[in-house]
Amino acid sequence: MPQADTSNQNATVPEASPHRRRRRRISNASLLVGLALTSVFFIIALVSFFYVPHDPNMPDVRNRLLPFGSPGHLFGTDVLGRDIASQLMVGAQTSLLVGVGGAAIALVLGTIAGLAAASSGKLVDETIMRGADVLLSIPGIVTALVLAATIGSGAGTTILALTAFFTPSFTRVIRSAALTVLEENYITAARLYGRDRIFILARHVVPNIAGVMIVQFTLYFAVGILVESSLSYLGVGVSRPSMSWGLILNEAQQQVGVSSPLAMWPGLAIVLVVLGLNLLGDGLRDVLDPKLNGRRS
């Protein structure tokens, strides 16, 4: 069983300073606000799988460019009369799918590579980490462009690009977190007891770095949403009949002057979700991983 550090159990607990109390209050607030924003986004995305007010791709010439708050079209309609609220709802699906997909696959690969690097000899460690360095020096957008040029664009390609982009960062973070844990006495004890490497990693290391993993996942989920919307905006992400907030913005910009409110909603949606996830990640870090306080990936 992992042991807790009991060395300062008898030490007197210092009075919380006003500064520290304030910090705690801020971190609780960011956790709550982040959780609220993220939940709203998840609920909208989930609901949209079962119900959207209108078909987001269905033109309706009689109802073109309706303003915000029109009956039946709460967020109005675009230049072809397509319902904006429905487009935003279905766009949330793409953000969710691509963001979670890219961050989750990269987390799994990065954890495997990071644990392997941390627990192996110098040669394996160096090889994995220098490989990560090479991948890190290729700008994410360049990877995405090359992939779009070769295998065509779409949600799958975007997830692949995000995976290539995130995995080296995850590898670095997981490796350094695992190295700290591997120095603990309970690891030495488990080793002396005859436990093999895989058992020690799975049973003792992973549970102890789970906090770091959750925080990193949340923060990269947010980056994934930003990148997905950018690629769709550039025309190398998802395209109709699929829907993305970046795509809506791209279409809105071509109609600027005609329908500028259209450019507001998808941008606002991206900002709120990404802000929510970042606040959630920061709040979670303060709760789960006090050692990393204030440091960003």
Partner 1 sequence: MLLHYVLRRLAFFIGAMFIASVLIFVLIRAAGGNVAAVVLGRDASPEAINALATEYGLDRPWAVQYLDWITGMMGGDLGQSFRTGESVADLVVSRLPISVPLAGAGLVLAILIAIPAGTYAARNAGRSSGTLIALISQIGIAVPVFWAGVLLSLLFGVQLGWLPTGGWTPWNVSVLGAIQSLVLPVLALGLVMAASLSRYVRTAVLDVMNQDYVRTARATGMSQTRALLTVGLPNAALPIVTFLGLLIAELIGGTVIIETVFSLPGLSRMILSNVAAREVIVVQSTVMLIIVFVMFVNLVVDLLYGLLDPRIRVAG
Exactly one of 279, 280, 281, 289 binds partner 1 (CB under 8 A); that residue is 279
Considering only residues 190 to 229 of the shown chain, the ones binding partner 1 according to CB under 8 A are: 222, 226, 229
Provide the residue count of the chain.
Answer: 297
**Which tokens belong to 85?**
């609220």
Exactly one of 23, 64, 191, 195 binds partner 1 (CB under 8 A); that residue is 23
| Cβ 272 vs Cβ 229: under 8 Å | no
Closest distance to partner 1 from the beta carbon of 269 (Å): 10
| Cβ 45 vs Cβ 96: under 8 Å | yes
Taking CB under 8 A as the rule, does residue 36 contact partner 1?
no
Q: How far apart are the C-alpha atoms of 177 and 194, rounded to whole Å?
A: 23
Q: How far apart are the C-alpha atoms of 73 and 70, rounded to whole Å?
A: 5
Closest distance to partner 1 from the beta carbon of 189 (Å): 29
The string of DSSP codes covering 28-62 is HHHHHHHHHHHHHHHHHHHHHHH--SS-TT---GG
Q: How far apart are the C-alpha atoms of 137 and 78, rounded to whole Å?
A: 40
The nearer residue to partner 1, 84 or 187, going by C-beta atoms, is: 84
Closest distance to partner 1 from the beta carbon of 250 (Å): 8
Helix (H, G, I), strand (E, B) or coil at 74: coil
The string of DSSP codes covering 250-287 is HHHHHTTTT-THHHHHHHHHHHHHHHHHHHHHHHHHHH
Considering only residues 226 to 255 of the shown chain, the ones binding partner 1 according to CB under 8 A are: 226, 229-230, 233-236, 246, 249, 252-253
Site string for partner 1, 95-134 (x = CB under 8 A): -----------------------------------xx-xx
Considering only residues 133 to 172 of the shown chain, the ones binding partner 1 according to CB under 8 A are: 133-134, 136-142, 145-151
The one segment of 50-58, 65-73, 197-205, 267-275 that binds partner 1 by CB under 8 A: 267-275
Catalog residues that contact partner 1 under the rule CB under 8 A.
18-19, 22-23, 26, 130-131, 133-134, 136-142, 145-151, 222, 226, 229-230, 233-236, 246, 249, 252-253, 256-257, 260, 263, 266-267, 270-275, 278-279, 294-296
